[in-house]
Amino acid sequence: MEQQNLPETDRLTKLDQYSREELIRQHDVMRGEIDRLVRELYELRQIKVTDEQIKLITEEQLRALNDSLYGASSERWKKPVSKPKEKAPAAPRIKKPSERYPNIPVREVPVTIDPLPWCDACGQQMSDSGMTEDSEQLTVIPKKFEILKTQRSIYRCSCQSCMKTAPVPPRILEGSAYSDEMILDVGLSKYCDLIPMERYAAMAGRQGLVDLPPNSLIDLTHHLAFFVQEVYRLIKAEVMKSRVLQADETPHRMLEGSSKKTWSLWGFSTPQCCYLECHDTRSGDVASEVMLKASCEVLLTDVYAGYNKATRVVNLERKKSQKCLIKNAYCNAHARRYFFKQRLHYPEANFYLEHYHQIYQLNDESKGKSPPEVLLIRDKMRPHFVAMKEQAEKELARYPKGNQYGKALNYFLGNNEGLTMFLTEPDVPLDNNAQERLLRSHVVGRKTWYGTHSEKGAETAAILFSIVETCKLNGVNPREYFPDLVQAILTRQKAFTPVQWKESRNENLNSLT
């Protein structure tokens, strides 16, 4: 509308800023969107809804609202058919703490009797036998804050004309009142342990460090993110090279510092790497910009229109350069969830839950198998999808379009090709749960710190969450990885990702053995 009010000369000048190829691409995208809107308009005109159907839809919406407010959050499903209870196996022997945690150091505390005891039988004084009766307890040493005083030696010459001071050790933040260890502890407490800075300051106050300013701690996280951003770029490069890309997004609240209050945290991941970006929009343009630089051939997502738009935009560019087009695979957990939500009001949904139960059991068997073995196991899943599709096609006509169970059927049938793509692609997962789990820390964290106060804070969250979640994907302890990374950067060595750190550590362990 703003462009229509511009003078003709201004509109022409604005169009001249685009190249011919960009104008063609924008035209193709807009034409696809217009075609979709026209189709939906004709579908809506053909719908005839009776009063009974309106009442049914309203009741279903109320039930859905009640379930969302008061229903159980778990999606565990039990088969309706009752089975005899199996005899519980014998409880395993409880391990001692040193057996359960072999990497934890053991501190021995001798307990003696002084003076030596007397024998109850003969009355003589007893001697130490050298034997002990041992018991173990797991204990904790509380965090201790210290002031690190650096004393740099000053050297002088007998000629009295020259003095030299020992150089300042390299640090994350030169001249800061906080040490590197403190900066790492603050950053990982927030982005790994999800502790808000106000709570961190309160916890420190209870240990004697009173009046620690939370705003200063937040600034430390920004400096840490800037210091390790090279790793962030390396993770992005690894993600961009992957053949299969998983994507998801979640709301991110901007408290101040931006005209838009609702931002989105976008996640793109592989089995080994997690890359996050924070933007002030949920538009598919964000995914387009990422995928234009990616080498992926399959994009696994939920059925959000923004990803479909992004795929169309990227495929238009790939056609011009004759590159492989991107295919959309969809998450089966979302399809199953639609049926799960309706299981109490529509017993027919148990048919699909039973088949998905068998599918997920087969999926568990395929973990750790080679690609040919995975495909053999997934061939056993195919009859389940065929049976569900045939049943859904039979049932669909009995439910109006606004019906919640009908929506579940429509979702499964309308996206069946993307839901079953994994059957022929061994590196495509059954669902997108892995990517959704990578956003869970952010989702839990935003309930405690509510949001970020600046665009810089959003960038910090994207950088540090990306590195921490990549650590978790590879079974790497962030509190062991980050000190080694900081030391490498301070000594001007090449930065390394958690994947590279783990590989290097395994090589060192193998060389020692």
Where does a domain end: 390, 405, 430?
A: 430
C-alpha separations of 391 from 136, 333, 372, 387, 420 in Å: 59, 19, 30, 6, 16
Can you spell out the DSSP letters for 300-342? EE-S-HHHHHHHHHHHHHHHHTTPPPPEEEE-HHHHHHHHHHT
Please give the biggest Cα pair distance in the chain.
117
Across 90-104, 186-200, 256-270, least confident range: 90-104
In a domain, 345, yes or no: yes
What is the pLDDT, as a whole number, of residue 11? Answer: 47
Q: What residue numbers bound the domain in which 366 lies? A: 332-430
Q: How confident is the model at residue 334 (pLDDT cuts 50, 70, 90)?
A: very high
What is the pLDDT, as a whole number, of residue 450? Answer: 77
Q: What is the 3-state secondary structure (H, E, C) of 32-91?
A: HHHHHHHHHHHHHHHCCCCHHHHHHHHHHHHHHHHHHHHCCCCCCCCCCCCCCCCCCCCC
Q: 250: part of which helix (H) or strand (E)?
A: strand 244-253
In a domain, 41, yes or no: no
In a domain, 89, yes or no: no
Question: Could you tell me the two tokens for 113?
Answer: 């009797």
In a domain, 4, yes or no: yes
Where does a domain end: 430, 459, 491?
A: 430
Give the C-alpha separation, 431 to 57, whole Å. Answer: 29
pLDDT tens by residue, 243-293: 999 999 998 988 887 888 889 999 999 999 999 999 998 888 899 999 988
Q: Tell me what the mean pLDDT of segment 84-93 comes to.
A: 68
Where does a domain end: 401, 430, 459?
A: 430
pLDDT higher than 50, residue 1: no
Q: Tell me what the mean pLDDT of segment 13-35 comes to.
A: 71
Q: Tell me what the mean pLDDT of segment 330-338 comes to.
A: 92
CB 473 within 8 A of CB 268: no
End-to-end CA gap in the chain: 71
In angstroms, what is the C-alpha Rg of the chain? Answer: 31
**Collapsing DSSP states into helix, strand and coil, what is residue 381?**
coil
In a domain, 409, yes or no: yes
Domain count, the chain: 2
Please give the angle made by the CA atoms of 347, 353 and 357, to the nearest 5 degrees: 150
3-state DSSP percent of the chain in helix, strand and coil, to 5: 50, 10, 40
Q: Which one is predicted more confidently, 173 or 27?
A: 173
Q: How confident is the model at residue 77 (pLDDT cuts 50, 70, 90)?
A: low
Q: How confident is the model at residue 72 (pLDDT cuts 50, 70, 90)?
A: low
In a domain, 336, yes or no: yes
In a domain, 468, yes or no: no
Handedness of CA 76, 82, 86, 88 (dihedral sign): positive
Residue type, position 495, single letter = A
pLDDT higher than 80, residue 500: yes
pLDDT higher than 70, residue 513: no
What is the pLDDT, as a whole number, of residue 75? Answer: 66
What is the pLDDT, as a whole number, of residue 2? Answer: 42
Give me the torsion for CA of 408, 413, 414, 420, rounded to 10°.
Answer: 110
Give the C-alpha separation, 295 to 102, whole Å. Answer: 43
Q: Which one is predicted more confidently, 62 or 396?
A: 396
Across 292-296, 446-450, 500-504, least confident range: 446-450
Highest mean pLDDT pick, 35-44, 91-100, 250-259: 250-259
Strand order of the β-sheet with 244-253 is 274-279, 262-269, 244-253, 298-301, 327-330
pLDDT tens by residue, 349-360: 899 999 999 999
Q: Tell me what the mean pLDDT of segment 369-381 comes to.
A: 92
What is the pLDDT, as a whole number, of residue 502? Answer: 92
